[in-house]
Structure 1
Amino acid sequence: MIPGVRKAVLSASPYAPGKTVEEVRRELGLERIVKLGSNENPWGPFPAARAAMAEEIGRLNTYPDVSFRELKGLIARQSGLGPEWVALSHGAEGMLQTMGKVFLDPGDEVVLPKGTYGLYREISLVMGAVLREIPLGEDFSMDLEEMRKAITGKTKLVWLNNPNNPTGLALHPEKVEDFVRCLPEGTWVVLDEAYGEFAAQGRLPRTKALLEERRNLVAVRTFSKAWGLAGARIGYALARPELVTVIDTVSEPFNANRTAIAGASAALREDVEAFRKALDAIVSERERVSLALEAMGLRVLPSSTNFIFFTLPLDASEVSRMLLEKGVIVRPCGGWGFPRSIRVTVGTAEENSFFLEALGQVLAERKGERE
């Protein structure tokens, strides 16, 4: 124990990221490595974003515009809300951390599903909150009714990842809307839509309408996934203007960097066609890979994200290790409580085919060992 460190901090666990290409190359000495473990977009950054970020390097000796005027305006136009409804952050994670600072006092309760993005749990614990975790259903779905029953007078936050990581499932939009509309006065929903762009039309709740109704909702989005800017670390929230003022007050000054702002702004202005082409390619490959996995006899969940969650008749960590030895990085889901499931990112057609071939070899090898 380190003297002086808060007890609540010691109750949290560090985030465990997926392996990098550099790590695997050092450890195994492989030449060809396909990284399909961190849900990155292989098509990004898009051309205009790349050029704008390169040009912005010459200005890194100065702070960005603290009002983030242009990017907020572009996000506002896309969302149908005014700029005063937009708050920026260092990636979606930065905004999620800010939610903990804004809302949680020691002893407050939070409600969240098990088998979801792990940072919600750690943020809550660091802030001294009490967790009310609701198990997923047998079909891996979130049970909003059970989450509603778990809300008490002490509940300050409900964390919802929609579509959910790692399962890839999207909640029924009308059920989410009903859930938000039935919240007690002092309870807020943080709706993390990091993968929202990959969901089919009509599969997400009407966030704009809920916000305009002044509901207790904060919708969090990111440029890391569909917009291909994971390394730039730029995210944002949509919330009622008075809460945006609070968010901006709690956040660190200049809480988004110049290159990220330039890249995100250029992407929204000029990269829409490239973005849509990449989105179409990912969705098409998602369907192809899902069907191929089903043809192997594996249970595959219908995905509304840029990754696929599937279940094996074997230990997922062992299969992931064998895939790693063949040069494929995937994410075993034992840490989420799913010891026989794997999450694989949808990459390029070539990367996906390499993964499917490697997985077929691994399954054949394991079958041969058992016979």
Structure 2
Amino acid sequence: MMEQAQSASNIISLAEHLGTRISDHVPETPNKLSEDMIKCMSAIYCKLSDPPLTHNNLSSPNSSLSSMSAFSPPEQCDIWSPGFRNNSSFDIRLDNPFLIEGVKEFSGPYSTMVEVPWIYRDGKKLGDVENLLQNFRSLICRLEEVDLRKLKHEEKLAFWINIHNALVMHAFLVHGIPQNNVKRLFLLLRAAYNVGGHTCSADTIQSSILGCRMSRPGQWIRILLSSNHSDPAVRVYTPKGIIHELEAAKEEYIRATFGVRRDQKILLPKIVESYTKDSGLCAAGVLEMIQKTLPDTVRKCLEQCQLGKSRKTIEWIPHNFTFRYLISKELVK
């Protein structure tokens, strides 16, 4: 990946023809660079989506069907919503926690997410996005010159999350999508960028930079750094709003994946359980966290049916390791 990036160094821009560089006119910070990388790679993924995106790149034609098995528990017919009672059509949609084309009041921003279930990697398709790829390679080259020493904590946090996500997406594009967890781990160790003169792999960013050194937000960050069917959406993180953006990402994800069975057992993905354990939340704290993310009508019903019950009322649905990216709508405008 580093070698491929070198080809961009010979590109002569219009500004350079005129005797100046683009950077002389457009101030660029490390954070702006990382944001541009996520935006560019998200645009590439949308154009390489298999099947192709439709409806002005807002959703894929099979989004609701391909999401249907994301967290499917065995008692599919017993799933219900306390806010919508026994509406049979909504019962079915609750089996699709990522309500890409579902009820917007319930799923929130996830109802407008772009779904990329697979990506084309053949020569013709890659040729169609060559301009975007050239742009991305030039962004990688500029990573070598960034100086992170003067950045504040929030700036570093947003920078590294964006860089990590762009790096993993780029690795899948170059090396292909791993078919098992061993190959996935190998790819995280292998994929790396030169950042300010230091070689940083995806694994290093996860474990040494974002994981071990972070306090409470860091525990949620670990959940945001994957590419599986059960994972949250990709979005841009900014230094000014990073703490709020992480909290919003957590709440939107829980809201979109929440379900309730007829026996009043709450259904949530297992990665949320990992977060609650790392955060040291008690049973009451877990329920309070869930309730904060839900619409008022659903929250009130949940409070009534869960009153006095313990954490055992939550069923943690196993993680689905199938490849799938959800991309925040603002990244593909």
Determine if the TM-score, normalized by the shorter chain, exceeds 0.5. no
TM-score tier (shorter):
under 0.3
Higher strand share: 1
Higher helix share: 2
